Structure 1
């Protein structure tokens, strides 16, 4: 038996044809990979791969000589490849590297591309407004080196951090594939829990010197100091591993990866993954819910959509840069004509970032290149318009665009308007007439076949006297003369007979054969010349790759800022005041997502939030379920986040001191896979918050302690609030709770203030006013919430009776406690008397009066 190393299929030695042997040899070089094997006009898949792919692609599975076989047409690759990649498979594309030749048993084949989830370029695989990151992690003693690359855009990030923060980065970047060291397999299996697609790399690749040399060789520099990353030894290893992986997967053309950016935690607001989840930034917690990104994203270009997500992941904590964004948004907000002009032009701009990557790897189409020309024309018009404005803001924006008129001219002087997606043999649709004299002459020959043959046919009719002479063509003989049998005697002797039919005879001549040879050569020559001219054009464009990348970045930024201005106009947002103070003052703040869900006749109830370090550091908010406590907490955090990314906010007024961290503990969830209860998850998340606060942190804590018994929960909640109050950082905090016992803390701690979300009780009905009011709430109205949720009335009525009984019992307990404490005070008062006989009448009167006052109270 002959067994493939990867157990993809078995076949008897005698059944192993040259084709199957070639397949096996190539397959062995790419273990754990689906091999798409080109055979003529089809991609064939064999053995167990065929069984697997037939299910994923829903294609027919057949069997030939005991080997399973599946396949699809060559031209359908872009239809089927995305399905395989989305299924988490690695795919090696094995193409025919030469034309089949007569007498040759086997065509030369080789892998031209290896596609994995993390290094996909195909636009049918990628999401237009989302990055597709490949991650690499290198484990140190205490820290980790992390790198993230999107090969489709050229964005490359590097950082180092503590081991316990790695999941935070993975959740933010959401990589499609993660590379790590083989010896660390167990560590990553426990850490990742099969939630990510991973690939093991050999241990020797994780070498600092090797990685360092790999990076400086790629960037063509003497050191990495210019990138500000030379001190990140673990990070450098992880980045070098990514470059090695690209080379191993046949991705050698990566010129567009021209920079590597350090992730500096100190330059961005830190938002943990719990907070992103709790605030529903990118994904809603409910199927019917709407995430914040759906409301914020008014971007028009794919580049703008990706940048917006990047800004949300890494909010600014530099007041100058935040104000600069706000200033541009204000300019676009106030200038309708400019804003509408920008929106119109942005619609004409294509995804330049991903076009660049396609150009570099040689996968760009003529139509995309012409789209680049149209994009550059629109950018040029934006620049010209901005320069004509009096606004310094717009002039500064204009200066961020690079001149690319030469590129645009080269494209329009080389490629025809609306060219096809690819250069094909026998078609004349890419290079314009007049660009190449040689090409024009060959085209004239090739595309004038009809005229030439008609002329030749008439000439031979006159020479031979055969009036019904015809010229035909087939794949066997090529061009031929066809003569009726009755006129056969008129055929010249130098014609060669090739075929006899029932009523006619076919002949070929030297002139026809020579012409046919010219036509066949012309077709190939046209194809080769157009390819050569097109590739030369790409090379010329790539000489200005940095100009194109800068323009792509500038357009993305303009798109996001214009999106913010549209968002503000549509929803009546205002520009917040961002400064270095240590306070938050929001007047009539609203939740940007919830208010969009309201019918026009009903408006969202706005609320004020005031927090500072002097007299209102912590707001304890009480109120019944469904009253809007959680919404107030979330909206405040979202407003702060929006302000820090440069957006206007849903409020009437806001002054926000710089916030460097937003933490949240909202909602409850079990982590069954780790055997953790709701309460355990709650405590883990809360502990993480309390261990990482700073003086510029903002916290929202909702129902802390509810996952355990009442007294334990109250004790924990009180202890946490007290810790936050007494902590030297004094983090600004909103604390929502059902525990009304926490209200008493405001009388004990000067920077704790009580608030409640008001309700109105009319008879047996309760109306949620959703308005934040000063003072604590005394009731939870839980039974009413049960009633309006559809709970059977019998259960609701019974609950009311039980509640009344419990309250009576509680009152009795309270009265007993009061009586006990009163008795203790009376006894203590009497105990103070040394000897009753020594009391004067006046002292006895005073003591009796003291006891009477205690009883009266």
Structure 2
């Protein structure tokens, strides 16, 4: 037995799309067979059946209705699968044998366009990575908005991870298995491996885009070519929405590594990865989806260029200062829908009539927005107004052509206004008035011939006809009628006029639907020619929306415009943590000042109890700095800030058990990355360095880290929270170190956290008091205090013996290892030499001898 012709066709198509679940069109259903069927039935909870395929065993099969496909496809894509859509590609009436079929589109996580399965407030990027020998080429595209960006980085997996973190792609195309393995191990992203030819045709990429920005080189071309080839392979159509390749330099914005983004909770909280509780949650009060996506990009890539920061801050201030205009602008922007994604659907031939009406409504609001912006006539906003194209011609075209109540489906008709196209008007008139025309013709023919029994009729076989009884044959005018059918008692005729009417009436619905579809395609093509104009206006709307949003948030939360200084100092008066403040009742948050400079206050050691607010204080300093560099006002009474090239954070405890890394190993790796990459213009946040190991190991590491930063990274401003209050001795010993602590009020035997940061170091960690607040048993706490008293006596001896660190070449007179010697002395002192046996004495002597050798 052999495969049936249909299954032969299925396998020949499937052979070319092995990595896809193939949706094979049969009538009104998409069917899946064999492995695809078994997988889809499991993932989509479909009934698995079988079909005769010419083999001894039936082919496993499952299917879904054609009209309900989008929902099922979306579910598969969200699970990380790729779906190939296989359709009939020839008219069944003209087919010889089985109807020809082929894959018309491949839908993947990075090329998804169904808004029901996409977050319209964030981009959906697909990424390409190529290895060109000494550098990695990177390209990022959001096909749903038409954005396309490219860059190159040194061959560093850490730098690669930073860019992946910035864009959070849903899918990656790579040319190198090593890169693929790294991404597969670290990121939960669909990977596609595609071979990349050594010779990269830069002209092919350049011809694809109408404009290129920034420097352009072979490395960027390699990644761009790889990504474009993959997109063409999946979309099966010209990607006319990709009009602009933006070449960016990673140094154009602040690089935020994965740890910093997570620790500062910039776009999602640490607990459940949701938006609530993040900085973006506080700042995002945008009125449009385009503005929301734009703001997310700003948060994930703060500026480092002073002029660009000033332009954004000035634009926010201009809107902030005009409350009436702010409200009017917000209201006007609410009428603007997602122009970017509608435009991409136009380019990809997937836009429907309802979306065209949505575009029309959006464009109708543009003149009012431009007029509002023109009232300000200041700085960045004036520049935007000068470039603001209100697209009146496109709005007029849509207004004149698309019916106001046009349906979503192209098959339902009623899309094009009758006044827009004469033929459509005529066909629609025929559909409505066809019976009236026949009645009028019947009456006209009766009057012309004088035959009162003449009638115009219709049947499915012969169509329309004029029927005259045999008794009236003599009254039939010569040359007017053409005989069509003879009956027993009558003759049926047709005239040229009736034939014309018949042609119009019969199939008017079919002709009308086909004509409306064709005219809709012409309108779509006309708008497609203006894609670059539409995209430019969409970008302006996104920027304007961000400016008004940041102005609104600043007003609602009492934020102030920061001053970006050039002396490298930080001066924040009554600073607040934007997220924590938002989560608390109004007025409950305790504000704090922060002062740092390049000289005697560039390294702050912050001590005090856990849970007292040290981490919040440091995080708010980082967030205030970051907010200023995205162009936002900041939560403070006043703020003067430098431009930081990087913000680094080492906060919290986490492990990587799958990667074989303990909590302490992860901590040390993060500290190592900071020390290797920080510069004198960086802001460093370190929280409890060394706590993942034993007390004295941790203390020694923390001490050494402080020394290294001060000596090896001069100028870097560092906030260093620690429970090692012994480190406070470094103030006065190391230039630039200042002690700060959390104010604690002792109430009887208990303590109260006042959340206030004040100069000076803490002499206690209050750890046992925190444990008491957590509910540990009283007898346990009593024993802990007893042990603490003994340890503090020995601890004082060790710290007191550490030499001054002012002189780099001085050695430690009594180092941390002297604590072990103290333990040995205690062991000797505790011996009851008069009451031990010679064997016991010999054993103790051996133990002490072994320990002494280990110390050496």
- Give the 3-state SS of the residue equivalent to 2:577 in structure 1: coil
Matched, 1:548 2:530: no
Q: Which residue of 1 aligns with 2:562?
A: 576
Q: 2:546 aligns with which of 560, 567, 577?
A: 560
Distance 1:471 1:47, change over 3 A: farther
Q: 2:701 aligns with which of 713, 716, 738?
A: 716
Q: 1:741 aligns with which of 726, 734, 745?
A: 726
Q: Which residue of 1 aligns with 2:70?
A: 78
- Give the 3-state SS of the residue equivalent to 1:94 in structure 2: strand
Matched, 1:180 2:168: no
> 1:306-345 residue pairs with structure 2 within 5 A?
306-345=293-332
Q: Which residue of 2 aligns with 1:101?
A: 93
Higher deviation after alignment, 246-255 or 369-378: 246-255
**Normalising to structure 1: TM-score of the pair?**
0.84
- Give the 3-state SS of the residue equivalent to 1:609 in structure 2: strand
Q: 1:378 aligns with which of 351, 359, 365?
A: 365
Matched, 1:410 2:394: no
Distance 1:802 1:202, change over 3 A: closer
Q: Deviations over 1:220-253 (max 9, x none)?
A: 68xxxx533333x322211111111122224432
- Give the 3-state SS of the residue equivalent to 2:365 in structure 1: helix
- Give the 3-state SS of the residue equivalent to 1:586 in structure 2: strand
Q: Deviations over 1:573-620 (max 9, x none)?
A: 1111012221111111111110111123x5100011111111100110
Q: Which residue of 1 aligns with 2:581?
A: 595
Q: Deviations over 1:112-157 (max 9, x none)?
A: 2111111222222322011111111112434211111111111111
Q: Deviations over 1:360-384 (max 9, x none)?
A: 1111112222222221221111112
Q: 2:761 aligns with which of 758, 776, 793?
A: 776
Distance, in Å, in 1 between the alignment partners of 2:375 and 2:788 is: 76
Q: Deviations over 1:517-541 (max 9, x none)?
A: 6444322321222222222222222
Q: Deviations over 1:49-91 (max 9, x none)?
A: 1121122222332212211222222121222221111111111
Distance 1:728 1:666, change over 3 A: closer
Distance, in Å, in 2 between the alignment partners of 1:581 and 1:298 is: 33
- Give the 3-state SS of the residue equivalent to 2:396 in structure 1: helix
Matched, 1:219 2:209: yes
Distance, in Å, in 2 between the alignment partners of 1:314 and 1:807 is: 49
Structure 1: gaps spanning 5 or more residues = 1-11, 482-487, 498-506, 826-857
- Give the 3-state SS of the residue equivalent to 2:312 in structure 1: helix
- How many angstroms does 1:263 deviate by? 2.3
Q: Which residue of 1 aligns with 2:47?
A: 60
- How many angstroms does 1:458 deviate by? 9.8
Is the contact made by 1:37 and 1:44 (CA closer than 8 Å) also made in structure 2?
yes
Is the contact made by 1:373 and 1:412 (CA closer than 8 Å) also made in structure 2?
yes
- Give the 3-state SS of the residue equivalent to 2:758 in structure 1: strand
- How many angstroms does 1:719 deviate by? 0.8
Q: Which residue of 1 aligns with 2:185?
A: 193
Distance, in Å, in 2 between the alignment partners of 1:460 and 1:64 is: 60
Q: Deviations over 1:338-396 (max 9, x none)?
A: 11111111111111111111111111112222222221221111112333556566544
Q: 1:295 aligns with which of 282, 286, 292?
A: 282
Distance, in Å, in 1 between the alignment partners of 2:700 and 2:580 is: 33
Q: 2:138 aligns with which of 139, 142, 146?
A: 146
Is the contact made by 1:586 and 1:653 (CA closer than 8 Å) also made in structure 2?
yes
When the two structures are aligned, how many residues end up with a matched partner?
778
- How many angstroms does 1:18 deviate by? 2.6
Q: 1:532 aligns with which of 505, 515, 518?
A: 518
Distance, in Å, in 1 between the alignment partners of 2:48 and 2:213 is: 52
Matched, 1:129 2:130: no
Is the contact made by 1:480 and 1:508 (CA closer than 8 Å) also made in structure 2?
no
Is the contact made by 1:786 and 1:796 (CA closer than 8 Å) also made in structure 2?
no
Q: Which residue of 1 aligns with 2:102?
A: 110
Matched, 1:171 2:165: yes
Runs of 4 or more, structure 1, over 6 Å off, are 453-467, 469-473, 476-481, 488-497, 507-516, 815-819
Distance, in Å, in 1 between the alignment partners of 2:582 and 2:269 is: 15
Is the contact made by 1:466 and 1:490 (CA closer than 8 Å) also made in structure 2?
no
Distance 1:392 1:64, change over 3 A: closer
> 1:559-708 residue pairs with structure 2 within 5 A?
559-600=545-586, 602-708=587-693
Q: Which residue of 1 aligns with 2:351?
A: 364
Q: Which residue of 1 aligns with 2:810?
A: none
Distance, in Å, in 1 between the alignment partners of 2:605 and 2:691 is: 15
Distance, in Å, in 2 between the alignment partners of 1:818 and 1:153 is: 64
- How many angstroms does 1:490 deviate by? 13
Q: 1:800 aligns with which of 782, 794, 798?
A: 782
Q: 2:342 aligns with which of 327, 344, 355?
A: 355
Distance 1:442 1:654, change over 3 A: same
- Give the 3-state SS of the residue equivalent to 1:217 in structure 2: helix
Is the contact made by 2:150 and 2:220 (CA closer than 8 Å) also made in structure 1?
yes
Higher deviation after alignment, 395-404 or 435-444: 395-404
- How many angstroms does 1:720 deviate by? 0.8
Higher deviation after alignment, 270-279 or 797-806: 797-806
Matched, 1:440 2:440: no
**Normalising to structure 2: TM-score of the pair?**
0.84
Structure 2: gaps spanning 5 or more residues = 53-57, 474-482, 804-812, 815-856
Distance, in Å, in 2 between the alignment partners of 1:750 and 1:194 is: 40
Higher deviation after alignment, 331-340 or 795-804: 795-804
Is the contact made by 2:109 and 2:190 (CA closer than 8 Å) also made in structure 1?
no
- Give the 3-state SS of the residue equivalent to 1:769 in structure 2: strand
Is the contact made by 2:690 and 2:701 (CA closer than 8 Å) also made in structure 1?
yes
Q: Which residue of 1 aligns with 2:839?
A: none
Q: Which residue of 1 aligns with 2:748?
A: 763
- How many angstroms does 1:480 deviate by? 10
